[in-house]
Structure 1
């Protein structure tokens, strides 16, 4: 019965993907499911839902699922493929939402039997992929009873079914965008010395950014200073008067991010002096590094031993961003990844690909893990 619910729920969600902050149909679906269970909820944002069941003590624990999809056109040839062109659940959020809904059903059964001691929050969060939905949600919502811990789980097609992966401390990187804006002075190529070339400035900036990791960041730490796109110039026979460069910064340590940003400001200043152009650099603050609290991590790891899942402690964190990081501002957090790779069924492509897919049986492991966490958490009361 539970597997059929997981299968039907996940496939409906997969067929009806919605982009960040546009998850109105998804939100209505979640509300209907919670209404059917008689679980109360709050809606602090236009999309997303926070359900809750009050326990008999002053303890509380929260579980989070993200609900948005990506602007990717699905290429899977399945009867439950996305019904929306160029929108797809390509990051497993349909799985996350399904796990949390099935878990809510289990918790409601405990509540109805008078066995729920800790208050449980079910956070269905919008806009993980863009606009830091977690941060927006927390800015708009005050928990009636502050959670002692907040837990999250993410599908991971790089690892086999039956595995759950995490590590203490940093588990995902911070993600910050940067943009250089260059304003030069145009001139005809015959009188090029009368201009100030944005092309020369762009070349200078590219050279300096490529040296940041080597000369200014600790060699034993993982960091990425990525150049995404750049361009300069207007015509074949004129000095380029405008230039642009953008990219992303991925770090685990706040001081490394501060170093990169400081050096980029210096690069912009030096470039202006050397090339005579006006150079401005702007940063778009993204997601902080997600870091697992020691106690929360151990609780989650020990809970996994009560399930059929095999816990794998990673040596290195992932270098992608994840806005679950913001929940650590509220309570100690732990975040893990649920393996869903299945070569026999050809479910082998990665996150954010047009062919991501998985067998819904793996979602049972996620529900079991959340249930084991709750059972272990209540045992500590």
Structure 2
């Protein structure tokens, strides 16, 4: 019965993907499901839902799922293929939402039977892929009872079905974008000394940015200072008057990010002095590093023993960003990845690809772990 619900729900969501902050139909679907279950909810943002069941005790616990999709055109030839051109659940958020809805159904049965002591929050969060939906939601919403822990899971096609992966400490990287804007002074190539070349400035910036990792960051830490794209100039016979460079920074430690930013500001200042071009660097702060609190992580890992999942403790964190990081400002958090790779069924392609797919059966393992976490939390006096 539950498996059929999970399959039906995930496939409906997969067919009706919506981009970040546009998840109106998805939100309406979640509300309908919660209404059927008789679970109350709040809507602090235009999209997304925070549902809750109030227990008899003062303690509370929260579980989160993200609900948005990506601007990717699906290439899977399945009968539940996305019905929206160039929009697809290519990151597994349809699975995350399904798990949390099914789990909410289980918890409602406990509540109806008078067996729920803890208040449980079910966070259906918009806009994980862009605009830091978690941060927006937490600024707009206040929990009536502060959660002792907040947990979240993510699909992981790199690992086999039945595996759950995590680690204490940082589990994903911070993601920050940077952009250099270069304004030179144009001149004819015959009188190039009369100009200030944005090309010269860009060459300097490129060289120096590429050296930050080598000379200014600890060698034993994982960091990425990536140059994504750059360009300068307007015509074949003029001094370039405009230049541009952009990229992304991935770190696990806030002090490393601070070092990168400081060096980039120094590079811009030095370049202006050396070349005469005006150089400015701007940052778009994305997501902090998602950090698994030691106590919450141990709680989750211990609860996995009550399921059929194989818990794998990773040696290294992932280098992608995840806005679950913001929940760490509210309560101790733990985040894990649910394996969904199945070679026999050709479910082998990665996250953010147009052929990501998985068997809904794997979602039952995630729901079981949510349940095991709640059961152990309920047992704490």
TM-score, normalised by the number of residues in structure 1: 1.00
Task: Describe how 1:334-353 pairs up with structure 2 within 5 A.
Answer: 334-353=334-353
Residue 371 (str. 1) matches residue 371 (str. 2): yes
1:297-345 deviation digits (Å, cap 9, x = unpaired): 0110011110000000000000100000000111000000000001111
What's 1:276 paired with? 276
Residue 47 (str. 1) matches residue 57 (str. 2): no
Task: Describe how 1:208-227 pairs up with structure 2 within 5 A.
Answer: 208-227=208-227
2:23, 2:229 → 1: CA distance?
A: 30
What's 2:76 paired with? 76
Q: CA deviation at 1:274?
A: 1.1
What's 1:333 paired with? 333
What's 1:101 paired with? 101
Task: Describe how 1:101-120 pairs up with structure 2 within 5 A.
Answer: 101-120=101-120
What's 1:185 paired with? 185
1:192, 1:250 → 2: CA distance?
A: 38
Task: Describe how 1:1-381 pairs up with structure 2 within 5 A.
Answer: 1-381=1-381
Q: CA deviation at 1:194?
A: 1.0
Deviating beyond 4 angstroms after TM superposition, the runs of 4 or more aligned structure 1 residues are none
RMSD, matched Cα: 0.5
Q: Secondary structure at the match of 1:243?
A: strand
Q: CA deviation at 1:266?
A: 0.4
Q: Secondary structure at the match of 1:367?
A: helix
1:340-370 deviation digits (Å, cap 9, x = unpaired): 0011111101100010000000000010000
Q: CA deviation at 1:273?
A: 1.1
1:236, 1:76 → 2: CA distance?
A: 45
Number of residue pairs the alignment of both structures matches: 381
Q: Secondary structure at the match of 2:6?
A: helix
Q: CA deviation at 1:150?
A: 0.3
2:236, 2:353 → 1: CA distance?
A: 38
TM-score, normalised by the number of residues in structure 2: 1.00
1:299, 1:142 → 2: CA distance?
A: 24
1:30, 1:65 → 2: CA distance?
A: 12
Q: CA deviation at 1:116?
A: 0.5
Q: Secondary structure at the match of 1:32?
A: helix
- Structure 2: gaps (5+ residues): none
1:96-118 deviation digits (Å, cap 9, x = unpaired): 00000000000000000100010
2:35, 2:343 → 1: CA distance?
A: 38
2:195, 2:160 → 1: CA distance?
A: 58
2:66, 2:221 → 1: CA distance?
A: 29
1:236-258 deviation digits (Å, cap 9, x = unpaired): 11111000111000000110000
- Structure 1: gaps (5+ residues): none
2:91, 2:17 → 1: CA distance?
A: 11
1:194, 1:88 → 2: CA distance?
A: 52
